[in-house]
Structure 1
């Protein structure tokens, strides 16, 4: 009996090797409906294999995203951190507003200070009005004396006093309107 069990697989192997086929393999005696069902099942098996492959790749992608999210978890701020940053931002905005207000006040103070200094300079550079101690050269008896300041010209002095420039040249015995110097005293007739 043992020999039958040993011979059966050997016989099947010999038949298979000799090119013999079963009725299912040859498809001759298999009903057409069964062949269609087998093809359908093979198609379903391929689709299931494809879906499994897609699911495995999707699972791998999700797993990678989860691992990167866990690794980069510190990149996301907690609500407490967001609140802290918001508070710091509000503090900075208050400081900027305070600095802007201080800057406006500083500008006003600088403007006022400069205005006072300019007024002082204008007062000191204004023509000195004194009576002329000596008598006028052309016979005019009344007038004032002006000391030439830096940056003044005879035309500016004449315009300031409302006198013609040639009158100033005559009254002060100038050879040319360009020949005046800082500190020089000029007689300005009335």
Structure 2
């Protein structure tokens, strides 16, 4: 199973990206998690750029979504809302079919951020019938280094919860497979 992981942060030392990287280290056998690192290169969404005028960065992003068996998103909250880059990336997927029915779950690297999570859940439930709002992992690691996050997530106590999250997501994705 191939999972595409989207971080709502483009910061080099992002806690959300570090969480997604650490999840790949505890993924169950048969699951590969790939971090999508191109959200910062996407131009601002415009319907005028869809179709034959679509920029290569957008085509590459859409191809990654299409090729994935599922998507896990981890995002910070910016000014009590979705980061612009993540919302822009999701906007590029609105008119296509790549995300419709695609299994999606959320991980979160903070003890706060409920406003953003509410917004993100609303957007994702609009975009995909495969969004599993109840499959959620919170690992409060805000302001930790990527190395510390990796150590925490791979520690046996946390790794058990992280792996359970990934297994539950895998089961959800498999249950949707016949309808996709």
TM value normalised by structure 1: 0.17
Structure of larger gyration radius: 1
Bigger relative contact order, structure 1 or 2 (CA pairs below 8 A, ≥6 apart)? 2
Q: Which structure has the highest helix share of the two? A: 1
* TM-score normalised according to structure 2 size: 0.17
Higher strand share: 2
